[in-house]
Amino acid sequence: MGALKDSGVEWVHHYAPVHYLPFIARAQKLMCKPSLKNAGFPKSHLRSKSSSSDVARGFGEYAFLTLDPKPRILSAKLSAGFPHLAIAVPVNAIESSEYRLCRYNVAMTRYLRRDGKSGHEESESNGRYYCRHQIPIAKSEAEKRSLLEKHLHKTMIEVLICGDLPLPDTTEVRCFSEPDLLLVKKVLRASGAAWKHEEISPPENYPRNASYAKSVEQFIDEALENPSWRGNGLEFDRV
């Protein structure tokens, strides 16, 4: 078994706006930024508050997931009324892929190794600096095990897939309201993705905003009707 499974991890999560699901389900994979660009998605499709930081810090070629079941960004988006969901990926699919671990929020941490600054401490359990990364990561199996032993369930850990992550039929889509679940069912039927889907309790209060929800519903209808469509710039970091 790999480091994640040996540490008791069963699921790894990707959190996304509900209206991204038609693209994810149609491709049946999570794509890194270069792959999204090659597939015709404009820069406006990406999260405006994190995508440029990911690239500048040396993490542009990863697909991002997390071991955190209740990340702060998800709570913030839901509490603001923005429809979001969780894509739960079984750990076997992660460990069949090339991946890294990072115990820091890649987009948000202020401590970077650049401009002459030392950044976060490099160690077996914190990770090490590789290539042009400005934040340490766990790359080797020994580093992953050390990082998980010290930090699992104590801090957010990001799971960084090298390139794209194919999503198996055992993937699960978890929603935080019944109306969102109905949208998910609609998308999965249209795309043919055989993923389990369910409604779960939100990590915080989720006052689903009617105006935002209408934008999501219109976006999904267009995406399902026109497979070549690549969005209209709807992205809740800009709201």
User: What is the structure's pLDDT at 239?
Assistant: 65
User: What is the structure's pLDDT at 12?
Assistant: 98
User: What is the structure's pLDDT at 46?
Assistant: 85
Distance CA 42, CA 45 (A): 6
Distance CA 207, CA 123 (A): 42
CB 103 within 8 A of CB 126: yes
User: What is the structure's pLDDT at 30?
Assistant: 98
| pLDDT one digit per residue (tens) for the chain, 239 residues | 799 999 999 999 999 999 999 999 999 999 999 999 999 999 888 887 788 899 999 999 999 999 998 899 999 999 999 999 999 999 999 999 999 999 999 999 999 999 999 999 999 999 999 999 999 999 999 999 999 999 999 999 999 999 999 999 999 999 999 999 999 999 999 999 999 999 999 998 999 999 999 999 999 999 999 999 999 999 887 66
Contacts 24+ apart (CB under 8 A), 150-156: 150/125, 151/103, 151/125, 152/7, 152/9, 152/67, 155/103, 156/66, 156/67, 156/68, 156/71, 156/72, 156/103, 156/105
Phi, psi of 86 (to 5 degrees): -115, 130
